[in-house]
Structure 1
Amino acid sequence: MVVAAALVSCTQASSGGGPGADVPSTSAGSGQDTDLARIAENAENAENADRAEREAGEAEDTAIPSPAPARVRDAFATLQATLDETCTPGAGDCAYFLGRVTRELTELDESMRADGKGPGHFKKPLADMKALFGKLGDDRSEAHLEKHFSEIVGTRDGINTWMQDHPDDYR
């Protein structure tokens, strides 16, 4: 609307019209009013389109993107990175390690379920992770994870062995 008013104002000033000028009549011989109305309408439509585009862009920016599951290859690579790590339960050095292995197993589980080959292809590792997650529940405290140290590390190692027998899933 502001753009339309400014455009009409500029058009009146350049055509000799303005605050002190006579307003042209709407006779059939004068197309200036029709032209000005059309220009104002086009400017208003353009402003509305620009506003709608800006609002749509703002809505897109505020939308929270849902994280896509990591591909199996990438998730397995991060799990493999934990193979040379360990900790000593009860020594106070297991929080990071067991938390990381559990997190990596969770991401691998999600990527296997979302993979195009389908969960049936990953039946054994998914069953192993389901059994582990059933034992862990929602408790991710260090003491609870240390209690299940053998199951966590055993699940990681078992999945590593399974994946080594299925190189097409990670290469």
Structure 2
Amino acid sequence: MIKIGDQLPEQSFTFITDAGKSSADSTALFGGKKVVIFAVPGAFTPTCSNAHLPGFVALADRFRAKGVDLYCLSVNDAFVMRAWQQAQNAGAITMLADGNGAFTQALGLAKDTGDFGGLRAQRFALVAENGVVTALQVEAPGKFEVSSADAMLALV
């Protein structure tokens, strides 16, 4: 599993925006910045839609005031992440679609949910500065405590 002091893995991400489809790699996304990446097991799922993402939406201005960019990671495709972003009014958060789970697996934070959904991300959040992890909060199975927006705001 990735740990404090490690470099984030190289990965290319696809985005769907009003302008269409685009892509960017992790160096372009995270290099030279302070970021919070929070991961959810799935877009449109209960805890993710009712608490995790909305918490970051509500506090986005406070993160921005501290110079922090927000990224939401999920093992979903770019179209699902765009639809979820729109449904949650989460325009202040960049949605990272990890469609095949390669980034999540490279972090060592994947889990297999079997027939329920297959490969997914564990619920976690991390802080990275210039692509280097400075804080990592991984939730215990079935919990939502240490990766919340409030918890992460206290770490930046």
TM-score, normalised via structure 1 length: 0.22
Where relative contact order (Cα < 8 A, 6+ residues apart) is larger, the structure is: 2
Question: Whose helix proportion is higher, 1 or 2?
Answer: 1
* Structure ID, larger Rg: 1
Question: Whose strand proportion is higher, 1 or 2?
Answer: 2
